[in-house]
Amino acid sequence: MKKIISVTALLVTATLAFSASAAKEISRQQVQEMNLEKIGVITTTDTNAPMDAKAELSAKADQLGGSYYVIIAAEERGRMLAEAEVYK
């Protein structure tokens, strides 16, 4: 029983830590106000819905070391295509 509680606590902590570190979508105006540094551009081409594209962009921004991203292009051609600039 004690082991189950420990594993559950670990999973909750890991989930909260991941959520806290996920890159956040912001506007171009916020980039200027926060004086952020652009560190790259990311794309997604294989998602079915806008929310899936945002989740994938956030994950890719995290991998690049970014804290924020700005979507600069998006369109739907049977699949969601999106491009974003990544900032830290």
Residue 5 lies in a domain: no
Residue 75 lies in a domain: yes
pLDDT of residue 29: 98
Q: Per-residue pLDDT tens for 20-70? A: 579 999 999 999 999 999 999 999 988 999 999 999 999 999 999 999 999
The total number of structural domains in the chain stands at: 1
The CATH number linked to 74 is 3.30.1660.10
Residue 81 lies in a domain: yes
In the numeric block, which tokens belong to residue 22?
A: 């996920």
Helix runs in the chain, H state only = 2-21, 28-34, 50-64
Listed as own residue / partner, the contacts of 42-45 with beta carbons closer than 8 Å and 24 or more positions apart are: 42/69, 42/83, 42/84, 42/86, 43/81, 43/82, 43/83, 43/84, 44/80, 44/81, 44/82, 45/79, 45/81
